[in-house]
A and B are shown apart, each in its own frame.
Chain A
């Protein structure tokens, strides 16, 4: 049997399982409840929430971007396991607070939360619009990943458009029908599969190509001095860039609305138990980097169109013989891309319905809202699919900017919880300045001051403006500020 037949079979079996599980998850639940669709009636169990948070972290990035970064940039890739572990840790304190307020006030989104604390419907809409744009960008990356994997592992038998349609179409259907439960349950399956595959492949490659991790790192260090450290001669990243990218990614992590709103889906105790497991997820990422390191000295960088292609390249040219490995990698990498896509598609549909459209027409009934959210899944899905297959340069710059802007929610969110004096004008002005600065340094300018991360500079400006304008404007009613401060 040809390798691509193995791969195709494994991927199809996997897709069927994920599909069935996703659909079953929503059975016997109220189809018409916004609370069920958005936050599973605040009742998700521990294992589910654990995999759901974890699954969204291990995205297509784990199999394509992560190894690519290790291969092309060496120690700079260490920032991945670091920020994954650090990013979730504030949730131990933040999650229970947000969850308590949300349960009391019946919130489903980050827009609900900020709009109420700052008494501003426009803030809800701004947050909603940025979130939806950022989600679409995130999805586009995942869909491209899925299509790429399908295409390359089946030797081009499954074209780009079809692979993306198959994998992502399934996600759209189970998310639209089963809501957050569909996303969550399929993540348990996908997460487990993906971890097994990442570790198997990571270690297999290191031993097959380099004779073990110690030999591998020794020879890399000999042939490329400085490559495995930060900020030295031969390193690819400065200490400042490394530190600020960790800071901004870790702080911004929980600001992704689909993760933030998981505070509403479960209990305080489970939030804390989930947080507890995350440093281990950081460790789980290490073998993913092994995939990229194992190719150094084996694959010439010129052989690749982009560093992201390193894993598929290794499979095609270095491991030609083993069909089972082909299939395993196919299923595992699809799982990684899909487990992120489902949560993001779901999050996007809730943001679109609740934060963007509801404030424009506040008298909508629950049934209309639920229809908007379910149709939103299809709309966002179609937009992301279209963009990933056909692209559109102008829109892509907009989306990349939105993607990088998520961390700019940090001052407004933390301000709501710890600073009574924080005001609506401060939050909006800070957000706008932060996003503008981020756009400028991310897309327009070539270099940043002191080699700091663009998002980090945006965040600094954001905080200054947020504090200054808040001090100058009228505070929200004291009782409201206290409720958030003391939640």
Chain B
């Protein structure tokens, strides 16, 4: 992997991290901070956390594929 590509990944990753932090803490979390509607039996605030973690997992998979997916196995 070139230095340039690594820098680009690092920058995008930091943006992803900060967004995730913001989505899970106040003030942004206020939009999810309620009990109803229950989703899959969970209060909305808890469902939101599960949802964000699911999304985070997918985003990480994309990062990983971008870095290692194309035959760059080190």
Contacts and interface: CB of A to CB of B under 8 A. Distances in A.
A232 B43 CA distance: 15
Given A78-B45, A231-B26, A239-B26, A92 B38 contact: no
Interface in B44-70: 45-46, 49-50, 53-54, 56-57, 60-61, 63-64, 67-68
A242 B45 contact: no
A205 interface: no
Nearest to B55: A279
Contacts of A1: none
A402 interface: no
A13 interface: no
Given A229-B35, A247-B21, A247-B25, A282 B53 contact: yes
- The 7 A-B residue pairs whose C-beta atoms are closest, nearest first, are A213-B41, A239-B26, A279-B53, A243-B25, A279-B56, A214-B41, A279-B57
B34 interface: yes
Contacts of B61: 276
B68 A239 contact: no
Given A239-B30, A283-B53, A286-B50, A92 B13 contact: yes
A221 interface: yes
Contact of B38 (A214, A250, A279): A214
A272 B25 contact: no
Given A89-B17, A229-B45, A280 B57 contact: yes
Contacts of B26: 230-231, 239-240, 242-243
Interface in A241-266: 242-243, 246-247, 250
Nearest to A486: B3
A427 interface: no
Main secondary structure of the interface of B (DSSP, over half): helix
B20 interface: yes
Nearest to A238: B26
B58 to A, nearest CB: 9
Interface residues of A, number: 43
B57 A217 contact: no
Given A217-B38, A272-B67, A283-B53, A93 B60 contact: no
Interface in B1-56: 10, 13-14, 17, 20-21, 24-27, 29-30, 33-36, 38, 40-43, 45-46, 49-50, 53-54, 56
A228 B20 contact: no
B10 A93 contact: yes
Nearest to A97: B10
Nearest to B28: A243
Contacts of A89: 17, 20, 56, 60
Given A229-B45, A246-B25, 19 more contacts: A75-B43, A85-B56, A89-B17, A92-B13, A212-B41, A214-B41, A217-B41, A228-B45, A229-B35, A230-B26, A230-B29, A230-B33, A232-B33, A239-B30, A269-B74, A272-B67, A272-B68, A275-B60, A279-B57
